[in-house]
Structure 1
Amino acid sequence: MKIIGVYHGDCSDGTAAAAVLLKKFPSIKLFPLKHHFEEKDFAPIIAEVDEETTVYTVDNVLGVEEFVKKAKEVISLDHHIGANEEMKAFAAAHPNFTYIFDNNKSGASLTWTHFFGEETMPELVRLVQDFDLWQWKFGDRTKYLSRFMISFANQPNKVLEFFDENIETLLEQGKTISVFADYVVENYASRAEPLYIKIGGYTVPAFNAQFMFVSEIGHALAERLKSTVLLFSIHSERVHMSFRSMEGYTPNSLELAQLLGGGGHTLAAGAYVPLEKFWGMLQHDTNIRMDTNDTNGYE
């Protein structure tokens, strides 16, 4: 049997989920894939699929519409609420597609539980989940592990090795990285001034920020401004948008991302838009100010 795995690229949770697949299937071929991927990214993956192939997608449901046309079976393990209804309907209509969803787990913990049971789950996977779901049940242990994992995105082979390492050794390395990371996050969040972007009927505070520490920076800004915020970065002719919000904010991150064809979670979501469209969304009224009393900063 031929098995390939597709995991959420450039993501610690996705990489850890891929490492779980590698533990279960040592000969599996693994491919990272990001939301709003381009054809050149997908072509080498679909080329590996034939009628004898089992495809696993973990921490994502990317490309399943194409995989089911060629593969023997497709199994998706995902926790992104934005795609849930669509994927349930798709699974009902395609007998070779199995959709396993749990919004209370991260991609890595869902994949581990599916194959090995929750009782044997390594602490590394629990800490990855704690950060990915933004629960912070384990405090600094979660922070240090998330910082350690930054260097190993898209390296499931390395993460597989970490499953059996002393977690305290990994956390100590993450603690060292955190000294600098905390400075970057606090310095940016305290000094950044927003642009404003029109999304549907909402005017959203937006900040130019690269992907590193985007969750920490985004949630710090959301807490500071008492509103959902957008962090964007320009990639050639496309703009990557990451939304971050706190519990109770309206609209939340997912609602804004879905207006742009994106998805994710209630407090953390994303989308891509063409650069030309992004320029048209910019609000040029320099008198726009946040009203944080009862509107969460929106019109």
Structure 2
Amino acid sequence: MNYVLYHKNCNDGFGAAWVAWQALGYQAKYIAVQHGDLPPDIPDGSIVTIVDFAYSRDVLLDMYERMESLWVLDHHKTAAQDLTGLEFTTFDMDKSGAMLAWEYWFSGQSPPLLIQYIQDKDLWLFQLENSAEVTAALSSYPKDFDVWNTLSVDGMAKEGMAIQRAINIKVLEHVEMATIRNVAGYQVPVVNATCYTSEIGSQLNANFPDSPFSAMYFDLADGNRKWSLRSRGEFDVSAVAQKFGGGGHKNSAGYIELMK
């Protein structure tokens, strides 16, 4: 049996899973995973691909021994050390998880525009026309393979104009509620937010240039607290997140704070 594990609640992660679905269809089982959770129970001898995500080195080595095959595709800075030297990984911080998945399953073929737009937003490049609008519209759709198959970039560019305008207003409303708090030993602007964390964090960093990063949080149903950290320049928030068992990129990372 094929299993595809992908980064949960993330357009890049689901984009990578959608690419896998183009190749494998329903011959594979697709499981959303996130940092802080135990790996899913997968039968020994399975064929496993992990996209836009990586477990610790010990967990991956154990999986590699038990599975018929294992391949890991990731681009998060915090995974670099765990993946170094492992023969069953593809790692590239200059590409998104969805793009790595495309190059893995469809090597040599031009990636769909949707994958290009996902990468443009995930790497915070915004080099493509109407990038924010396209990804805003994409986020308004359920993460469902059949639904994503019907989406067009041109259509989402038009749909996303009003959505992005509303997002911009919500971001400013959240930013106005920021307070300076201690997070991991740093005095930073903090906002309670369940969504638009990258946009809110970017605006907070602009409004509070003397703070090393910004932090957004919300409480989960299990009583724990999810933190999203955003920085600009040289401050590495992935190093902060990693101290708490999380991960991410230099300027964008997160972790789960255990409250019990």
TM over 0.5: yes
Residues 157 and 6 of structure 1, relative CA distance in 2, 3 Å threshold: farther
Cα distance between partner residues in 2 of 1:178 and 1:273: 30
Are positions 1:84 and 2:80 aligned together? yes
Give the equivalent residue in structure 2 for 1:223.
206
Give the equivalent residue in structure 2 for 1:146.
135
C-alpha displacement at 1:118, in angstroms? 5.8
Cα distance between partner residues in 1 of 2:201 and 2:108: 31
Are positions 1:185 and 2:185 aligned together? no
Question: Structure 1: 5+ residue runs without aligned partners?
Answer: 93-97, 277-299
Cα distance between partner residues in 2 of 1:173 and 1:120: 25
C-alpha displacement at 1:30, in angstroms? 0.6
Aligned-partner residue type, residue 41 of structure 2: I
Are positions 1:59 and 2:42 aligned together? no
Superposition CA RMSD, Å: 2.0
In 1, are the aligned partners of 2:228 and 2:252 still within 8 Å (CA)?
A: yes
In 2, are the aligned partners of 1:10 and 1:153 still within 8 Å (CA)?
A: no
Aligned residues: 253
In 1, are the aligned partners of 2:181 and 2:189 still within 8 Å (CA)?
A: yes
Aligned-partner residue type, residue 126 of structure 2: W
Are positions 1:194 and 2:162 aligned together? no
Are positions 1:46 and 2:29 aligned together? no
SS at match of 2:36: coil
SS at match of 2:124: coil
SS at match of 1:35: coil
Give the equivalent residue in structure 2 for 1:120.
110
C-alpha displacement at 1:171, in angstroms? 1.8
SS at match of 1:275: coil
TM-score normalised by the chain length of structure 1: 0.78
C-alpha displacement at 1:198, in angstroms? 4.0
**Structure 1 residues 13-52: aligned runs within 5 Å:** 13-26=12-25, 27-37=27-37, 39=38, 42=39, 45-47=40-42, 49-51=43-45
Give the equivalent residue in structure 2 for 1:100.
90
TM-score normalised by the chain length of structure 2: 0.89
Are positions 1:234 and 2:230 aligned together? no
CA deviations over 1:122-180 (Å, ceiling 9, x no partner): 111111001101111125x2111211121345423432x14xx5421122222232222
Cα distance between partner residues in 2 of 1:243 and 1:118: 35
> Identical aligned pairs, as a percentage?
25
In 1, are the aligned partners of 2:11 and 2:139 still within 8 Å (CA)?
A: yes
Cα distance between partner residues in 1 of 2:12 and 2:121: 9
Aligned-partner residue type, residue 143 of structure 1: A
Residues 256 and 68 of structure 1, relative CA distance in 2, 3 Å threshold: same
Residues 205 and 66 of structure 1, relative CA distance in 2, 3 Å threshold: farther
Residues 167 and 76 of structure 1, relative CA distance in 2, 3 Å threshold: same
Cα distance between partner residues in 2 of 1:205 and 1:153: 31
Aligned-partner residue type, residue 61 of structure 1: A
Aligned-partner residue type, residue 209 of structure 1: A
In 2, are the aligned partners of 1:223 and 1:246 still within 8 Å (CA)?
A: no
SS at match of 1:120: coil
Question: Structure 2: 5+ residue runs without aligned partners?
Answer: none
